Structure 1
């Protein structure tokens, strides 16, 4: 008999047996029974059983600590960000729509007066989280609960004051001790997640701790590892089923590439094969994160998605289950599904099927409309239904993987067809070098080919780019015009760089010397000296504004060789303002 079918039918038989024995009543007490069969499965196997997932977004993590205090009605927090009060029917309908697991992000400090040193979670808030957890468990879903953004208290870990850093850990440990105690007898279908995107560089956030920012990148990695280890130790040291519960470890920034960095280390555990790793996927942000009209589907975009998701096998090869805790393409401003959303989503699900990951759609009633109790797009509705555990229960694991491989190949072919509609500079293997300006606006609503893979189709609608082919040493000008976008401008800058694709291969050692930067037609004085470097040993890069660079790389190239004044942020995003146009003129040639 086929492996996945065996597992699925085993669980069906188990629950039928429990029903016959009078153990499967439709009450929350069901969820404190830990089915014996679950004790035999590993983190990789539980990822298989979690199937296709969804987030209950903008709900229990809606942050009202500052505006509502800690004693408001729980529903006031729950509905603060525009979502309805969660009902049992909503979770049941999610299950029927094809979702076998749900992630419930939680802002626990909504109900903690931590500023006064009182770390007790208000009972009503804990009760409400438990009630929603039971809705999901009663619907036969796996459930993940975490500690989400939560107003940015995480920045206390990056405080310049040791006392504040110690208080941050005290709060974290107290919080998880209480959560672990409340849910200690719940079955393995309830999974705890150590954090969210804040475990990483956002430990330096200044939302709460104004003197934060003290951690270097290395120290941020070290602190992230320490927090994750403390999470595991805290849960394992509590009572009941927590000694064996599956635990989900938040990756560094939950960013795939940052989590793959060897500085990120999975925590040690007292029990084998019970840890999973969580990362998020919103690439390219110009498509997934922007509300402006945007398109996706070029061959390079398919390949980029496939390549980065395949890298997470570093963790599955070590026995850690992989959960894509958030992914999705944000709808357009008018609420409609953007072009190619089904293709984008399907390719993520195909990769997940191939490698055994758990994809968990980020949703705030954008796709599954909670008031209507259904998916609002027919294509997505069919896709999610077809990927449910029950829909695939008749297939073996290898059949599922083979179907995924074929579908991924079809995606690449579809991307090649998509590329024929693009008119502009093109590449032919390694024969051409093209220079362009990578750009992401500060609100992420406007972008152009941000990343070392040159993809002029990866842009916000209305952006006009003047990219140039590089034929050797000389002077070149490249530019972007944002006046044709919905807003008519880019809101300052979140990230920008000059890229020369194939530059390192065709012109090794060449240096870019910026001669002139023009913003909105006026000369712009840079705030530092830009340098030439490469991240992938293929594309030459000059950072214009890259705040994620912790230190100037030793291999950076400058005409004079003196790196003391080199900067990765020569555009000042605090004063840049509205950017309608930007152009850069530079000299390109070998080091002198």
Structure 2
């Protein structure tokens, strides 16, 4: 039987009207219909990310830790540099009543919303969280369970309500670096699972766009130890929610990250720590359809002494980190608490070379060499020197000194991965052989950032006698073009000095700190205040040229004396 075409048109019109009315009546459904990204796609779209550290997470106020107020200009700068997302850590403690009902101050909540809106207006995805509260009061959960849970729940109830209608480009992270005082690993995982489940239930139950907003759940300590990864995976599986992501943090192999125990280079152990860390996260989550956000990454020494990790070794670390993140499909968010971008001027990055390497690593690989320095004696014959090429999947194009290309054969040779500078070329590049860098060579590869190689003339450094206190001792030092790599501290009986007496090699920036501008090496309170009374301590300074210089210090009461040995 043939249907009346007018009836069919009327039916279609009615159906369309019904659909429109239905979507209008249900904002959540309308929003869901517009969403075309899975959690994996959305998190991938956030790569690369940046942290607005030491700002809304500072206490008691936003500017208390030395950074200016966050502005739209700041976020526009971040977006213009290629970042697609920003993690905005938020500490709520000082803006919340300490007793039930744990009310968050309206002015603070409005400021957090304002900063989020500024980031959104700059076309950035945004991740907000509960940050330093993790150690201020959440860590007390083992001894004060009910109060901590009540406060946590009250916090997220208010945050979820405030951001109920925020775009899906806003993500929530339950808690930063969760930790629990005096608890076993099993207890920590159980407590965190309880908080994550509570967070999930509160946010999902608050409706609006929170019904399917991406929620980010951390491991204990945001660590990629397998037991913590497995615990979080089981949690996420039990929640049966496709809009969840996992988060971990990565600050590298600890001895390398702070320069302790003699780990001064991006050696095999340091590389395998990085590779294994990202592999475990990818296999546990990403390979099973759960996206992973590396919510913070960097080097721990940035908080102590910028020079603790040598520049070339630092660049190798970030080059490989970016590659591994891409290979494993992990989204990374660089930790910047004011260390990297000059937020006062929004001008240059404080280390443009570091930023260039990190930015390049988001899309490609860069070649490097075994060292970024060639040390030449200030006097005497100069001999040929070799470095190992780390091509990292690129091919080597050659060497340049400024605008001039060095000549293969005459200036250098390449045999496999062995790059050898001829004696004649090094003699020419050393110029008058004054102490320090006399030439900067660029090794260029088929992709990525050119690798700088510094030609340096040096003499063995000379230390002089000094007197100080258990607060510090400044050793007058003629560095003679050289730089400190690490320092050992041992007593005559063979035992190691405190702190960290499990190793003779002390931590750069905490036990000692070279000052090339002031021609001195300072021994710091953490070392000199713990020295044995009237017992000579022998220090051995290791320099990047390979030179070693010994020095002896003795403590008598509050006085510390140093002598050449």
TM range (shorter): 0.5 to 0.7
Q: 1:173 aligns with which of 136, 149, 153?
A: 153
Residue number in structure 2 paired with 1:50: 46
Are the equivalent residues in 1 in contact too, given 2:44–2:331 (CA < 8 A)?
Answer: yes
- 8 A contact 1:55–1:104 mirrored in 2: yes
Structure 2 CA distance for partners of 1:239 and 1:481, relative to 1, 3 Å: closer
Say which of 273, 290, 313 aligns to 1:320: 290
Q: 1-side partners of 2:286 and 2:365: how far apart?
A: 15
CA distance, structure 1, for counterparts of residue 262 and residue 81 of structure 2: 27
Residue equivalent to 2:115: 132
> Which of residues 185, 199, 210 is equivalent to 1:217?
185
| In structure 2, C-alpha distance between the alignment counterparts of 1:293 and 1:402, rounded to whole Å | 26
**TM-score, length of structure 1 as denominator length:** 0.56
In the alignment, which residue of structure 2 is the partner of 1:311?
280
Q: How many residues align?
A: 377
Structure 1 contact 86–132 (Cα < 8 Å) conserved = yes
1:140-289 equivalence runs, <5 A = 140-150=123-133, 152-159=136-143, 164-197=144-177, 199=178, 202-204=179-181, 213=182, 215-257=183-225, 260=228, 262-264=230-232, 265-268=234-237, 272-289=241-258
Aligned-partner Cα distance in 2 for 1:128–1:83: 16
2:487 to 454, 458, 462: 462
Q: Which has the higher strand share?
A: 2
Contact 1:91–1:136, Cα closer than 8 Å, also in 2 = yes
Unaligned runs of 5+ in 1: 1-31, 65-76, 205-212, 393-399, 419-458, 467-477, 493-517, 523-579, 581-592
Taking the TM superposition and a 5 Å limit, the aligned residue runs for 1:373-522 are 373=346, 374-386=348-360, 461-463=486-488, 480=504, 482=506, 485-486=512-513, 488=523, 491=526
Q: How does 1:97-108 map to 2 (within 5 A)?
A: 97-108=81-92
Q: For 1:291-318, what per-residue CA distance to the aligned partner results, in whole angstroms no more than 9, with x for missing partners?
A: 9998432233223211221111111122
Cα distance, 1:381 vs structure 2: 3.2
Structure 2: gaps of 5 or more residues: 1-27, 368-389, 396-416, 420-483, 492-501, 514-521, 536-560
Partners of 2:255 and 2:29 in 1: CA distance: 45
Larger radius of gyration: 2
Q: Residues 37 and 357 (structure 1 numbering): CA distance in 2 closer, same or farther, change over 3 Å?
A: farther
With over 3 angstroms needed to count, the CA separation of the structure-2 counterparts of 1:219 and 1:225, relative to structure 1, is: same
CA distance 1:142–1:45, shift in 2 (3 Å) = same
Q: Distance in 2 between matches of 1:369 and 1:334?
A: 17
Aligned counterparts, 1:577-592, within 5 A: none
CA contact 2:259–2:486 (8 Å) conserved in 1: no
- RMSD over aligned CA atoms reads 4.1
- 1:41-81 deviations in whole A, cap 9, x for unaligned? 222222211111111111111122xxxxxxxxxxxx00111
CA contact (8 A) 1:56 1:104 kept: yes
- Give 2:105's aligned residue: 122
* Per-residue CA distance 1:189-230 (angstroms, 9 max, x = gap): 100001111x2xx321xxxxxxxx3x3331111111111111
CA distance in 2: counterparts of 1:133 and 1:292, whole angstroms: 42
Query: What TM-score comes out, normalization by structure 2 length?
Result: 0.59
The residue number in structure 1 matching 2:94 is 110
> Shift of the alpha carbon at 1:407?
7.1
Q: Distance in 1 between matches of 2:122 and 2:289?
A: 28
Following superposition, the deviation at residue 359 of structure 1 comes to 1.0
Asked whether the equivalents of residues 290 and 332 of structure 1 are also in contact (C-alpha less than 8 Å), the reply is no
2:153–2:199 CA contact under 8 A, matched in 1:
yes
Question: Residues 126, 378 of structure 1: CA spacing in aligned structure 2 closer, same or farther, 3 A cutoff?
Answer: same
Provide the C-alpha distance between the structure 1 equivalents of 2:324 and 2:248, rounded to a whole number of angstroms: 14
Deviation by residue 1:254-279 (Cα, 9 ceiling, x = unmatched): 11116545344333576642111111
